[in-house]
Homo-oligomer: A and B are copies of this chain.
Amino acid sequence: MHQQLGEVVKERRSSLHLTQEDLADMAGVAVRTLKAIEVGKGNPSLSTLQKLAEVLGMEIRLEIKKLNK
């Protein structure tokens, strides 16, 4: 269910040539926590996601769902 967001984080992090440790340190979250998020385990809080998003140059958005499938 959360794999999707985790994979987005992972791909974005890779494209920026950052290791999990790099990103975790820069975002101020534990490496252990980032690892769990990237593999789709756990249920991160909004603040944790936003800390990561900030470093990744991304943002969390709540949008009306596109209606298709």
Q: Which residues of A does B touch, CB under 8 Å? A: 1-2, 5, 8-9, 12, 43-47, 49-50, 53, 57-65
Closest to A53 in B: B62
**A46 touches which of B5, B8, B12, B64 (Cβ 8 Å):** B5
**A61 touches which of B2, B44, B57, B61 (Cβ 8 Å):** B61
Rounded to whole Å, the gap between the CB of A59 and the closest CB of chain B is 5
With A59-B65, A62-B5, A62-B58 as contacts: A46 and B44 at CB distance below 8 Å: yes
A58 and B65 within 8 A (CB): yes
Give 4 new A-B contacts, CB below 8 A, not counting A2-B46, A44-B46, A46-B49. Answer: A43-B47, A53-B62, A58-B62, A59-B65
